[in-house]
Amino acid sequence: EAGVAQSPRYKIIEKRQSVAFWCNPISGHATLYWYQQILGQGPKLLIQFQNNGVVDDSQLPKDRFSAERLKGVDSTLKIQPAKLEDSAVYLCASSNFMNTEAFFGQGTRLTVV
């Protein structure tokens, strides 16, 4: 079974530029999560989708971050404009249903300079 796919693996941008990350969850997984992991910390949830609906986006900085999962499968996370403090690893995870184990992709390491 293929795991969670994310791209790109690495991205370096200048502050105030925009960037987008892509995630393809495990086939059949209805729940998709985006987490932000700052160096030296545990992942922190940004947004959770159930199919194509948002379940929790309470920690998403909505003035600059947006995410969508239009057909209930792939998802994109966008940052516009980026700030230096957005430098982090952005992890996508998926699970069969809510409240079951989540499986993570390899992440996208973003560096904002």
Partner 1 sequence: GQQLNQSPQSMFIQEGEDVSMNCTSSSIFNTWLWYKQDPGEGPVLLIALYKAGELTSNGRLTAQFGITRKDSFLNISASIPSDVGIYFCAGQLRNQGGKLIFGQGTELSVKP
Q: Give residues in contact with partner 1 (CB under 8 A).
A: 4, 6, 31, 33, 35, 40-45, 48, 50, 55-56, 91, 93, 95, 97-107, 109
Using CA atoms, how far residue 54 sits from 14, 31, 71, 78, in Å, is 29, 10, 13, 15
Residue with smaller CB distance to partner 1, 78 or 109: 109
Q: How far apart are CB 99 and partner 1 at their closest, in Å?
A: 4
Output 63 or 97, the one with its CB closest to partner 1. 97
CB of 42: closest distance to partner 1 in angstroms? 3
Give the shortest CB-22-to-partner 1 separation in angstroms: 15
Nearer to partner 1, 22 or 104 (CB): 104
Measured between alpha carbons, how far is 33 from 75 in angstroms, rounded to an integer? 9
Distance CA 7, CA 40 (A): 22
Q: Residue 46, class by beta-carbon neighbours within 10 Å (0-12 exposed, 13-18 middle, 19+ buried)?
A: buried
